[in-house]
């Protein structure tokens, strides 16, 4: 039997003090672990959020670029739409013109049908004319034989003419010096003193068988005068009142000029 003199509270002794501290430490460790897990999760969520924000910025820039491209394409499409409207109006005008042209072509087709009937009638006439032309062709063939003969004769004559031409050219080359001499004017000029030499008269005699037109130029004492005359066949032209030293030039078309000096 228990001793009734021992107090009742001594039967239930309180735990030692370090046990409560240990329990508190265990609880604190558990709290720290839980808090660390939460912090780790929060950090992971923050990293994920930052990555999403970065991806969102990249996608936003891409979307902005796509939006700019879409705006540019929209402006191009708008310009193309304006051009398409203008082309549509032009095509409509061309369509109207085509309709008018089709109407005209239909009218022309009807005319062509009428002309075709006329041409068929003319074709019948042409066949008859063709038969006649064939007959004429046979006759022309016979005539061509004669023409070939004449052509051979013409070739012979051409060769003969070429030979004559060459002979004439040779003769012309020989006559060239004589032709140059023939350019001399067929006149004679003589100077006569008048009044003891105070004035002179030039006598120009025409030796040609026809009248000769001459242009006379008189130069002297710083003055020049001209006159035109026609000297009859075998006649003499007198140029009077010439001063000493006057130069007289007698010219006529086709001839070399003749010059004389009063002295």
In terms of Cβ atoms closer than 10 Å to its own Cβ (0-12, 13-18, 19+), residue 201 is middle
Give the pLDDT confidence score for residue 198 in this predicted structure: 84
Whether the CB-CB separation of 196 and 216 falls below 8 Å is answered with no
Q: Which residue matches tokens 């309709």?
A: 99
Give the pLDDT confidence score for residue 91 in this predicted structure: 86
How far, CA to CA in Å, does 198 sit from each of 96, 191, 238, 262? Answer: 103, 13, 17, 11
Interval 190-198 mean pLDDT: 87
Give the pLDDT confidence score for residue 161 in this predicted structure: 85
What are 213's strand-pairing partners?
Answer: 230
Which of the two residues, 16 and 108, has the higher pLDDT score?
A: 108
Residue 236: which H helix or E strand, with range?
strand 236-242
218 closest CA partner among 261, 248, 259: 248
Residue 181 banded pLDDT, cuts 50, 70, 90:
low
pLDDT(173) > 80:
no
How far, CA to CA in Å, does 123 sit from each of 111, 114, 130, 134, 173? Answer: 18, 14, 10, 16, 65
Q: What is the DSSP letter of 252?
A: -
Residue 1 banded pLDDT, cuts 50, 70, 90:
very low
In terms of Cβ atoms closer than 10 Å to its own Cβ (0-12, 13-18, 19+), residue 143 is exposed
pLDDT in tens, 82-99: 998 999 898 899 988 888
pLDDT in tens, 214-261: 999 999 888 999 999 999 999 999 999 999 899 999 999 989 999 999
Residue 190: which H helix or E strand, with range?
strand 187-194
Q: Are strands 187-194 and 199-206 parallel, antiparallel or unpaired?
A: antiparallel
pLDDT(191) > 90:
yes
**CB neighbours of 254 closer than 8 A, spacing ≥ 6?**
183
* Domains observed in the chain: 183-261 (2.60.40.10)
pLDDT in tens, 108-163: 888 888 887 888 888 888 788 878 888 888 887 888 788 888 988 989 988 988 88
Residue 171 banded pLDDT, cuts 50, 70, 90:
low
């Amino acid at each position: 039997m228990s001793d009734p003199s021992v107090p009742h509270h001594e039967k239930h002794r309180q735990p030692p003090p370090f046990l409560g501290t240990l329990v508190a430490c265990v609880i604190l460790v558990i709290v720290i672990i839980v808090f660390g897990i939460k912090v780790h999760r929060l950090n992971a969520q923050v990293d994920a959020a930052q990555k999403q924000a970065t991806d969102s910025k990249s996608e936003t820039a891409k979307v902005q670029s796509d939006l700019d491209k879409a705006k540019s394409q929209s402006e191009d499409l708008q310009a193309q739409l304006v051009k398409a409207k203008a082309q549509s109006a032009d095509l409509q005008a061309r369509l109207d013109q085509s309709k008018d042209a089709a109407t005209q072509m239909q009218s022309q087709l009807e005319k062509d049908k009428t002309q075709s009937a006329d041409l068929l009638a003319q074709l019948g006439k042409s066949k008859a004319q063709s038969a006649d032309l064939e007959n004429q062709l046979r006759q022309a063939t016979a005539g061509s034989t004669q023409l070939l003969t004449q052509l051979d004769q013409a070739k012979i004559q051409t060769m003969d003419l070429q030979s004559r031409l060459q002979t004439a050219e040779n003769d012309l080359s020989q006559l060239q010096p004589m032709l140059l001499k023939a350019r001399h004017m067929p006149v004679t000029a003589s100077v006569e003193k008048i009044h003891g030499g105070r004035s002179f008269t030039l006598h120009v005699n025409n030796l040609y068988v026809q009248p000769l037109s001459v242009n006379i130029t008189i130069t002297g004492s710083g003055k020049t005068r001209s006159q035109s005359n026609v000297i009859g066949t075998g006649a003499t032209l007198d140029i009077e009142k010439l001063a000493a030293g006057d130069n007289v030039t007698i010219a006529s078309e086709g001839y070399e000029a003749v010059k004389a000096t009063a002295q």
